[in-house]
Structure 1
Amino acid sequence: MKRFLTAGAGVLMLAGTLNAVPVQAEERPPTVAEQSLRALAARHDLAIGTAVDTDALRDAADPQYRALAASQFSSVTAENVMKWESLEPTRGTYNWGPADELIEFARKNRQQVRGHVLVWQNQLPAWLTQGVSDGTIGKEQLRDILRNHITTVVKRFKGKISQWDVVNEAASDPWDTPSSIHLKGFWAQHLGPGYIADAFRWARAADPDALLFYNDYNIEAFGDRGPSDKTWYVYTMARRLRASGVPIDGVGSQGHLGTQYGNYDALQVLEVLDAFSDLGLATAFTEVDVRSQMTDGVRAGDSNEINPRLQASASNYSVLLQACLANRRCLSYTVWGFTDRHSWVPGWFSDPPEGMATLYDESYRPKRAYNVVKADLAFSGPPYVLPRVSQKPRR
């Protein structure tokens, strides 16, 4: 009995000691709603990015733009300040300031940078186009100018750019004349088709470590694989470049969609991503937005017209993201601006007027599209969604 009493007293003393220790409440993990897009995308090793308007970025009267660009995204793209007319408005004189500002913003916020763009037929400086037009810049000189531009720009940002859009929008559209897809624009006209391979080789020589992309729009799904199928044309071009030893590492699909069109489902889009991956190429969605026609009803606030557009927009964002998540070589998903306050769409699509293209409205309130993108990132996982397969730059 004495032994039992002694043991019982010991148990009571131990229980009292344990009860005296304050119980630590388990820390509650953040809910999906509380997490950023970049935090959820990191689970998949996916870079989620936005194009950045550097004027808005430095606007002290609009701090929310800078805060969301920093907190929600793990990658940034220069919307305009790395295009040729912005970088070299006067021949031989470069304006690096705005681009450097974006690079520094990304460094402070531990973000990747997509370089956009080295070779494009639009937004070229007047001194270049006028020189070609009036004959003061000949073909060989033009080729040297292009090589110098690519080399100068890529070396300037060497080690700071994860992906470069080397050549942008070189393929025509089926509504052009002729309807069969062909190389179009300033560079094809004046230098011939060889400029594409040259551009990739010059970019690789300037930075051995950046991933080099061909970038274009309306290449989300295959058509009939005939002469007017732009996606098939770009796929065939990429296959030939790859087979020729050109150092192309990936293909970027811009993803500019509209709710008024009959768009694609995720499996159709995935088919294209898988086809490029089978060539050994990385893929990316580089300029995603989903615009809607701004009818009188939309402008008047009619929910019967607004709600279907918001739902269709969310569905289109989701289709592209689901396909990207399912393709392990899809390395990044970038939206072309994140708020209607600073969207390019209304200024470009005015007849009829279009808008409502981004994840946030003009007051920075997240739309249905934002929440659907967040849900796709949160609820995707094995066996069909696995971490990304990193791409090594092709030498």
Structure 2
Amino acid sequence: MRKSLGAVVPLLAGLLVASPASAAASSLKDAAAAGGRVFGAVAQAARLGDADYTKTLDHEFGQLTPENEMKWNVIERVRGKFDFAAADRLLDHAESRGMEVRGSVLVWHSQLPSWVINIDSGAGLLTAVREHVDGVAGHFKGRIDYWNVVNEAFTDSGARRNSVFQERIGDSWVEEAFLAAEAADPGARLCYNDYYTDGYGPKSDAVYELVRDFVARGVPIDCVGFQAHFNSDHRVPADMGKNLQRFAELGVDVHLTELDVTGSGEVQAAAYAQAVNACLSVPRCTVMTVSGVSDKFSWNVARTPLPIDSDYGRKPAYYSVLDALNAAVPAPK
């Protein structure tokens, strides 16, 4: 694990400086790629005009997830009128840099426009879900590597969340969303995504049963996203690797989709290394994505959760991740 060295190494001071122990690869994306994996970041279209932000995004990350640009209340504020401008800008940038793209999210109980919430019949709401998924996934057909089809359908207790979709359509709404996504963009890999499912527990068990059922019945699902938000109240679980492996054994890939760890210094670095190593222990854990490019524009900025700080400097957490990725690269034969 890298010591703090007093101040973090500046990421943008000329050519990037790699620590000697991490010389095998000097960026997160290159270290991950050498081991057959992808390392990405959640990104914001509005920041692409910021030179430091864009330079860091391009150098460090091989996959991009739009932060809000594909959410329902942004992309279809008025029924049937889609605004793809911001999302298209992100995709154009990703494609010009050879990045993979995770589309996020097709159906989620949060960030909904009022017209969706006000649909009072199950049949009407299901039609709206199908039309929305068809409109969004259809627009991006062939450009998305992975879709977060459904987000956060369960509570921490493992019960179905009492969302507008659950209340008016019933349990079938999750399956219906996956079927619609498969029809609209059959080449993309389809994922269920949730938080606090990293270790064994009632919520993780409920998601596991959903995935097991889908696989058994042939409902299209290719991957499960573990958001992997860690803090003092939710630490990296000791059984994270085993939990990821049990999902992989169902025949799906497992991804860390919004990885972040609040805090600083060596404690934060150790937690990042633990989470990344849990993924690296599972062959089907193929994608790791942090929840932002740097602390500067993080959704949780006050708690400094990312490996790159607000001045685009490399934190101890950056080096703990880089070293873990480099250590996982197979030795040349």
Shift of 1:71: 1.1
Match of 1:235 among 202, 205, 208: 208
Percent identity between matched residues is 34
Structure with more relative contact order (C-alpha pairs < 8 Å, separation 6 or more): 2
Match of 1:186 among 164, 167, 185: 164
Contact 2:38/2:63, CA 8 A, preserved across alignment: yes
Partner in structure 1 of residue 145 of structure 2: 162
Match of 1:278 among 245, 249, 267: 249
Shift of 1:326: 1.6
Provide the rounded CA distance (Å) in 1 between the counterparts of 2:267 and 2:163. Answer: 33
> What secondary structure does 1:287 align onto?
strand
Partner in structure 2 of residue 251 of structure 1: 224
Amino acid in the other structure paired with 2:26: Q
Structure 1 gaps of 5+ residues are 1-28, 175-179, 224-228, 293-308, 347-353, 387-395
Partner in structure 1 of residue 108 of structure 2: 120
Contact 2:179/2:220, CA 8 A, preserved across alignment: yes
Amino acid in the other structure paired with 2:38: A
Matches within 5 A, 1:8-87: 32-33=22-23, 35-58=26-49, 62-87=50-75
Matches within 5 A, 1:177-326: 181-223=159-201, 229-265=202-238, 268-292=239-263, 309-326=264-281
Provide the rounded CA distance (Å) in 1 between the counterparts of 2:291 and 2:274. Answer: 16
Partner in structure 2 of residue 341 of structure 1: 296
Match of 2:306 among 351, 358, 365: 358
Contact 2:116/2:128, CA 8 A, preserved across alignment: no
- Taking structure 2 as the reference length, the TM-score comes to 0.89
> What secondary structure does 2:144 align onto?
coil
Partner in structure 2 of residue 374 of structure 1: 322
Aligned alpha-carbon RMSD (Å):
1.9
Shift of 1:262: 4.3
Structure 2 gaps of 5+ residues are 1-17
> What secondary structure does 1:361 align onto?
coil
> What secondary structure does 2:186 align onto?
coil
Shift of 1:92: 1.6
Provide the rounded CA distance (Å) in 1 between the counterparts of 2:139 and 2:194. Answer: 25
- Taking structure 1 as the reference length, the TM-score comes to 0.76
Contact 2:125/2:165, CA 8 A, preserved across alignment: no
Shift of 1:291: 1.6
> What secondary structure does 2:149 align onto?
strand
Provide the rounded CA distance (Å) in 2 between the counterparts of 1:128 and 1:52. Answer: 26
Shift of 1:317: 1.5
Provide the rounded CA distance (Å) in 1 between the counterparts of 2:329 and 2:189. Answer: 26
Shift of 1:260: 4.9
Deviations 1:303-330 (A, max 9, x none): xxxxxx4222212211221121121111
Question: Which protein has the larger Cα radius of gyration, Structure 1 or Structure 2?
Answer: 1
Deviations 1:54-91 (A, max 9, x none): 11123xxx310011111110000000001111101122
Provide the rounded CA distance (Å) in 1 between the counterparts of 2:274 and 2:163. Answer: 31
Provide the rounded CA distance (Å) in 2 between the counterparts of 1:263 and 1:245. Answer: 32
> What secondary structure does 2:313 align onto?
coil
> What secondary structure does 1:264 align onto?
coil
